[in-house]
Amino acid sequence: MKTLYEQDYGLWAEKMADLLESGRFSELDIANLVDEVRDLSKRERDRLLSSMRLIVHHLLKWDYQPQKRSKSWVGTIQRERKNIALYLEDSPSLKRYLTELWLNKMYGVACDDAFGETGLTFPKACQYSVSEILERDISLN
């Protein structure tokens, strides 16, 4: 038999919120609540890493296709930097993902994305630092 969680996630979430609000803790679906709370943290992390990946993706194109630089690339890099700043403002603990280890993981994905758009091959080792990703000056001038 399927649980409410499997049948109707939205209704399940509303019911869990109502039970929490009314203090009826013994009726809570603890196992699924624990999973959902853990997933919240992963979603926040993934948003941050997605922004990092997009910045690297565009920096690769910027560095390896200077003749094709565009306002769109600048806009994407600036937007994703702002997104990272907002994520960190909301959840300062996300700073623990702004490391060379996570940057290297995102670099591989960004290389694949940039290859798909350009057909160019990029260095296997990440050539960027976290501070460069977050602060490097990018302008069309």
In single-letter form, the type of residue at position 35 comes to D
Residue at 141 is within a domain:
no
Low-confidence ranges of the chain (pLDDT < 50): none
89's tokens: 């403002």
Question: Do the domain assignments include residue 95?
Answer: yes
Summarised one tens digit per residue, pLDDT across range 23-62 is 999 999 999 999 999 898 899 999 999 999 999 999 999 9
Residues ≥6 apart with Cβ < 8 Å to 58? 73, 76, 77
> Rounded CA gap, 6 and 4, in Å?
5
Residue 140 within a domain: no
8 A C-beta contact, residue 66 and residue 139? no
Give the pLDDT confidence score for residue 1 in this predicted structure.
55
Burial per residue of 5-27, b for 16 or more beta-carbon CB atoms within 10 angstroms, e otherwise = beeeeeebeebbeebeeeeeeee
Structural domain boundaries enclosing 80: 4-135
> How far is the C-alpha of 89 from the C-alpha of 54, rounded, in Å?
20
Q: Please name the residue that has the structure tokens 């960027």.
A: 128
The domain total for the chain is 1
Phi–psi pair at 129, nearest 5 degrees: -100, 165
